[in-house]
Amino acid sequence: MDAFSGSGTPSALDAALARAWVAAIAAAVTTRAAELTDLDAAIGDGDHGVNLRRGFDAAVAALAGFEADTAGAVLTKTGTTLVSKVGGASGPLYGSLFRALGKALADDPAALGAGLQAGLDAVVRLGKASPGDKTMVDALTPAVDAYVAAAPSGLAAAAAAAATAAADGAAATTPLQARKGRASYLGERSVGHQDPGATSTALIFAALADVT
């Protein structure tokens, strides 16, 4: 499948675009690592930005020496690298997201919406979180829903819709009391802080919108 329409706008995620997406995530995480760490310091371990930066830098390095001709292979490799390089709960969660997405795209290169849903399902199974628990799921769920709803309008429009929904979902975690993860130990003291995982999830979708 040709990943570009006649106008030069990408219409599907191919290997080159998947690599660009991962590189854009790594750049965004590097730029905002201190912010992510500050958010995590308020309600968590204080290492979210550092861990994600290490993980996505490792993913970019791993992809540089990895021959892949499909987006599925690129994203599966990304997920595997995140699992091995990112500490704490973030590695398995973000790794599962990208590995499930990569597997879905390996089965159907055009099924990015279904792949994102598979990634969400994998995160929910592993973290056992639901919307409203003040986790990455609060950004991931609306992002996937928005992508699927806008998919008939094309990849760029769907990615932009997902990015907006993810950002809104992340912001909406601020008044919530955490019910999962380390932040849940704080009880009411977790209220008033934006969830770092939801924030980094929004960065992932913003990066997709940037490269499409």
Instruction: Report pLDDT for 87.
Output: 74
- Whether 60 is covered by a domain: the verdict is yes
- Whether 111 is covered by a domain: the verdict is yes
What CATH number has the domain bearing residue 155? 1.25.40.340
Instruction: Report pLDDT for 65.
Output: 87
- Whether 50 is covered by a domain: the verdict is yes
Parent domain of 104: 15-211
Instruction: Report pLDDT for 206.
Output: 98
Per DSSP, the three-state class of 4 is: strand
If you count DSSP H runs as helices and E runs as strands, how many of each does the chain have, helices first?
Answer: 9, 0
- Whether 4 is covered by a domain: the verdict is no
Quickly count: other Cβ atoms within 10 Å of residue 42's Cβ: 17
Instruction: Report mean pLDDT in 10-residue bins for the chain, 212 residues.
Output: 44 91 98 96 91 96 94 97 89 96 90 96 96 97 98 96 98 95 88 96 98 96
Task: Evaluate if pTM is beyond 0.75.
Answer: yes
- Angstrom CA distances, 10 to 2, 20, 129, 191, 208, stand at 9, 12, 33, 40, 12
Query: Comparing C-alpha atoms, which of 203, 193, 180 is closest to residue 127?
Result: 180
- Whether 75 is covered by a domain: the verdict is yes
- Whether 101 is covered by a domain: the verdict is yes
Q: Domain total for the chain?
A: 1
Instruction: Report pLDDT for 5.
Output: 38
Contact 15, 71 (CB under 8 A): yes
Per DSSP, the three-state class of 185 is: helix
- Whether 1 is covered by a domain: the verdict is no
- Whether 9 is covered by a domain: the verdict is no
